[in-house]
Chains A and B, each alone.
Chain A
Amino acid sequence: EAQVTQNPRYLITVTGKKLTVTCSQNMNHEYMSWYRQDPGLGLRQIYYSMNVEVTDKGDVPEGYKVSRKEKRNFPLILESPSPNQTSLYFCASSFSRGNEQFFGPGTRLTVL
């Protein structure tokens, strides 16, 4: 089944404790992206990747890192999480720009 998976689905952590949210797709998509969803703000892009080893900042990259060492995986790293990073995070992938983005199920992160 074609899908985007994210882990964990729920995470409660404390300020400053490094964490990684994994994202994997099995559709051989080149474009992958991370978004955060906050009430009233819609989805805002954090980082995106056009292909392996090619990443770039989205609209809200501060406090986040990503890597794209393999085509299927695009982990999101929070080196030192802060409470303002409490949010619902979505990973998405597509063949390229302009194509439908397939979204993962989301990761709800709470930073205390």
Chain B
Amino acid sequence: AQSVTQLDSQVPVFEEAPVELRCNYSSSVSVYLFWYVQYPNQGLQLLLKYLSGSTLVKGINGFEAEFNKSQTSFHLRKPSVHISDTAEYFCAVWPAGNKLTFGGGTRVLVKP
């Protein structure tokens, strides 16, 4: 069965510092990859997605992610975070079947 591992459950970071959120998945076949963000008391919204092509994907709010097929990873990065980036971030994988699988989430707390 497909699994998605987000290696850090919580990441505290100071404002204007860089952040990297790690995501590894288990599938060895072609997959679609996503990062979603959930702000407090809200639903999820898409940050970025990888379907094919360039392995470096740029998303909204200055986020980007790099797909690494050999390491089955899809890590999310932002070079300089803002207080408003405080949220929970979810990596998701959509393999050949019809089931979208989410990781356990990473809470980012941006400190002033």
Interface residues of A (CB under 8 A from B): 31, 33, 35, 40-45, 48, 50, 56, 58-59, 90, 92, 97-98, 100-101, 103-106
Contacts and interface: CB of A to CB of B under 8 A. Distances in A.
B11 interface: no
Interface in B53-95: 90, 92, 94
Contacts of A104: 43
B33 to A, nearest CB: 10
18 contacts: A40-B105, A42-B103, A43-B92, A43-B102, A44-B102, A45-B101, A50-B98, A58-B99, A59-B99, A59-B101, A90-B43, A98-B94, A100-B34, A101-B34, A101-B44, A101-B100, A103-B43, A103-B44
Contact of A90 (B44, B94, B104): B44
Contacts of B101: 45, 59
Nearest to A33: B100
Given A43-B90, A97-B94, A97-B98, 10 more contacts: A40-B9, A42-B104, A43-B102, A56-B98, A90-B44, A92-B44, A97-B32, A100-B46, A101-B100, A105-B42
